[in-house]
């Protein structure tokens, strides 16, 4: 009997860094993109402020549909009020909502933060786990958040975080023809070395903010112009 993999099953199975289905032109284009963006952003990193995997996890959850600057203004207050995972696990949701209200979606975010803290206390000895399968059991944590925490909090590269900037640039640069974050991640992973999976997320996010904007992309100033098929722009 032939077993067909479901969409989410892809990430549970090993695969070659460069698969036979990945055409050489995209591999070469991706290598050039990575090289040029590395030279443009030699010290690029997350704009979120954090000092531990727990703080990174909280900040990433809060960053959904919110600017990093706003999150950075809120997290010092949050961590001063509830310094540890156990403290937040015992917090009242209404009080957490009041602190994080300006980040948007505050009711859902507050509920997820408290439930996540409780699960970490109950199941993970009050520690943020360093495995994808464990992170995905936490309320409000999907692959994008898990990839960010693993890559930058633990130096573990299990995938590529796909946010709105990565989604947009992957399509415009012809690295993926999909609009689905899961499919985009699967398309990108064979194109870049595993150790660069965290970097490429940062590079595409920064470049998407500065040059390849959603509206009025600065194509005349783009260092990738000769590589870019401008998918969706013409």
Q: How confident is the model at residue 226 (pLDDT cuts 50, 70, 90)?
A: very high
**Catalytic hit among 68, 119, 134, 163:** 163
59 pLDDT more than 90? yes
Q: Indicate the number of domains in the chain.
A: 2
Supply the CATH number for residue 113's domain: 1.10.340.30
Q: Does any domain span residue 223?
A: yes
**Residue whose C-alpha is closest to residue 162's, from 204, 116, 190, 216:** 204
Q: What DSSP string runs through 92-106?
A: -HHHHHHHHGGGSSH
Closest CA relative to residue 129, chosen from 48, 58, 53: 53
180 has catalytic annotation: no
Cα–Cα dist 58/76, whole Å: 11
Query: How many Å apart are CA 106 and CA 24, to the nearest integer?
Result: 45
Task: Answer yes or no: do 58 and 115 share one domain.
Answer: yes
Can you tell me the distance from the alpha carbon of 104 to that of 67, in angstroms, rounded to the nearest whole number?
10
The CATH number of residue 173's host domain is 1.10.1670.10
Options 109, 144, 167, 187, the catalytic residue:
144
Residues 174 and 223 in one domain: yes
Q: Which regions of 145-212 does DSSP assign to beta strands (E)?
A: none
Residue 163 known to be catalytic: yes
In a domain, 87, yes or no: yes
Model pLDDT for residues 119-155, shown as the tens digit of each residue: 999 999 999 999 999 999 999 999 999 999 999 999 9
């Amino acid at each position: 009997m032939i077993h067909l993999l479901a969409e989410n099953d892809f990430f549970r199975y090993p695969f070659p860094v460069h698969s036979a289905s990945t055409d050489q032109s995209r591999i070469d284009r991706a290598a050039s993109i990575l090289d040029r963006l590395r030279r443009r952003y030699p010290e690029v990193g997350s704009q979120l402020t954090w000092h531990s995997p727990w703080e990174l996890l909280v900040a990433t959850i809060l960053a959904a549909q919110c600017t990093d600057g706003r999150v950075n203004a809120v997290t010092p207050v949050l961590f001063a009020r509830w310094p540890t995972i156990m403290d937040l696990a015992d917090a009242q949701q209404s009080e957490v909502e009041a602190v994080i209200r300006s980040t948007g979606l505050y009711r859902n975010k507050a509920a997820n933060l408290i439930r996540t803290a409780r699960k970490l206390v109950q199941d993970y000895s009050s520690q943020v786990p360093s495995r994808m399968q464990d992170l995905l059991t936490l309320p409000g944590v999907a692959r994008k958040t898990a990839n960010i925490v693993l890559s930058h909090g633990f130096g573990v590269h299990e995938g590529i975080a796909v946010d709105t900037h990565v989604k947009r640039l992957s399509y415009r640069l012809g690295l993926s023809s999909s609009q689905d974050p899961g499919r985009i991640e699967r398309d990108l992973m064979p194109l870049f070395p595993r150790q660069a999976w965290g970097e490429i997320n940062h590079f595409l996010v920064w470049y998407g903010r500065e040059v390849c904007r959603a509206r009025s992309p600065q194509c005349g100033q783009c260092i990738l112009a000769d590589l870019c098929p401008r998918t969706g722009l013409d």
